[in-house]
Homo-oligomer: A and B are copies of this chain.
């Protein structure tokens, strides 16, 4: 089994190192490195203090690959390019092609904002400055991503901090010459994923033990994520057979909760199930306040199936927009199986949908009672072939209760659309 090349991730950002914001780029880059056959060794988050940042970059250059995020902006405290060049002992140059490109973007922007271009000019030259051996892999706004090989042999990738922009430029980094050369020396580990819903993390851990556990070139991780359990099996080259056996043994034990063997999110599965059957979807939300609709509409092309939703926060809106009878709300309360069912039927009828899911609950921290405590959520999914209902008592704070309720609503829709009744029972 060959040693995998060592990758170090460096994330810069003062607000990140002060803990004011949680970094998303480090985990993304580490997971990508792993999936392409590199061994992510560390993720270091550092601020913009020059000495500290340069020291961390210098450590990064000792690895086979150093993936860097952030510090590419136009301002004085964006020092990544300057410092990584210094740490690597490479000269900086102003790239004239880049400068022209960034200038034209900045000019268009200054016109749209009706501000003088002179405000932008110093930033343009700064952002067009690169280590002499580096190549641009494309712009994010006015910041170029860069790739070069350092004198240490390390392949250095410099990417912008905003997560969307970093992810957009990352494929270009993978396609760059230095990175292609590095990845030719390794093989992506075999990776298998199991996505489960409705089972506990410890039950999955026990199933893994019973299936023989990991080791012998296969690494298993079990991770609870928004109420789903994600199992990843990563197999070194040569350990594929062992990984297949473990996969089969786990699948046998956990089949009833398995909903995906790939990375697609549950909202994508719901939309493709609906699309395949030509069914129109709608939502009726109280405690989740639009989160279910927002997740469905986050998927490009969702308008093929999703027609809309009602966020019925007050009882008046439940009555007026979802035809929930006032008597029902008086008798059973807004957080009840009856209200959830009426909301789902109301959404189908009023929004002209075939299938609707409704969520109503007590998200907290206020509003709980002995009878209906914080975390109590009723869900109801209804379609042309029947309906599924579910009651939950969710642990956690307001945000956790809402996220878990939204995820469960999407899984209820998935169960209804696949016809797997027993699973949603």
Contact = CB atoms under 8 A, between A and B. Distances in A.
Interface in A276-315: 283, 285, 287-294, 296-298, 300-303, 306-314
Interface stretch (A16-24, A88-96, A148-156, A239-247): A16-24
Given A164-B397, A351-B321, A75 B201 contact: yes
B317 A307 contact: yes
A119 B351 CA distance: 46
Interface in A295-349: 296-298, 300-303, 306-314, 316-317, 320-321
A293 B311 contact: yes
A91 to B, nearest CB: 26
Contact of A42 (B52, B220, B395): B52
A74 interface: yes
A272 interface: no
Contact of A313 (B19, B230, B307): B307
A205 B21 contact: no
A42 B46 contact: yes
A17 B30 contact: yes
Nearest to A222: B75
A45 B46 contact: no
Q: Chain A contact residues (Cβ within 8 angstroms of B): what range?
A: 35 or more
B310 A310 contact: yes
Contact of A219 (B14, B222, B290, B395): B14
Contacts of A296: 289
A307 to B, nearest CB: 4
Nearest to A41: B52
A306 B301 contact: no
B303 A294 contact: no
B300 A289 contact: no
Interface in A212-245: 213, 219-225, 230, 232, 234
B300 A115 contact: no
Given A21-B225, A293-B311, A307-B314, 17 more contacts: A14-B232, A18-B40, A18-B234, A19-B32, A19-B34, A19-B43, A20-B232, A42-B44, A42-B45, A44-B44, A76-B209, A162-B224, A290-B294, A290-B297, A300-B364, A307-B313, A308-B311
